[in-house]
Amino acid sequence: MTKIEKTLENKSVRPTAMRILIYKYMAEKKIAVAMTDIENVFEKAERTTLYRTLKTFEEKGIVHQIDDGTNISKFALCELGCSCELDQDLHLHFHCSNCNETVCLTEHKIPHINLPEGYIAEEANLVLKGICDKCSGH
């Protein structure tokens, strides 16, 4: 069994060929990808299959969705051991306004925020905008 197959099985996702391919693509890409990116890469696959694969990944905590303010939902692989619960895998995201790429800053966690009484947070989406390391030349 390959590492990817194991990762999928650990998350109770049957490692079908399509799922393995999409996982591999996302792992190699290293930046958040939009549905259209995946559609372009897997041209021959049915759109609904691709969409359902991502939905399954999201439900099982394999990927998380990022709203980077571009009106296009992007997806990135979750960290190991993430179950996509609030206060667990909440890291910062960075959107570069020059190359338009969005990355997970997994080392940088969103600090716990004490909300006023009666407020219940269900998701958090913290996206910093600016110039990424590639574009700034550092």
Residue 104: CB minimum distance to Zn ion, A: 3
2/98 with CB nearer Zn ion: 98
C-alpha to C-alpha distance for 38 and 76, rounded to whole angstroms? 12
- Asked if residue 135 binds Zn ion (CB under 5 A), the reply is yes
Interactions with Zn ion, residue window 26-85 (CB under 5 A): 64, 76, 78, 82, 84
Q: Are 103 and 70 in contact (CB under 8 A)?
A: no
C-alpha to C-alpha distance for 90 and 115, rounded to whole angstroms? 16
- Asked if residue 99 binds Zn ion (CB under 5 A), the reply is yes
- Of 8-16, 45-53, 95-103, 116-124, the window that binds Zn ion (rule: CB under 5 A) is 95-103
Residue bearing tokens 């692989």: 77
Binds Zn ion by CB under 5 A, chosen from 26, 68, 96, 102: 96
Sorted by sequence, the CB contacts under 8 Å of residue 125 that are 6+ apart come out as 66, 67, 93
- Asked if residue 95 binds Zn ion (CB under 5 A), the reply is no
Nearest to 63 by CA among 115, 117, 101, 11: 11
- Asked if residue 132 binds Zn ion (CB under 5 A), the reply is yes
Residue 44: CB minimum distance to Zn ion, A: 28
Measure the CA dihedral 30/94/47/84, to 10°.
90
- Contact residues for Zn ion, defined by CB under 5 A: 64, 76, 78, 82, 84, 89, 96, 98-99, 104, 132, 135
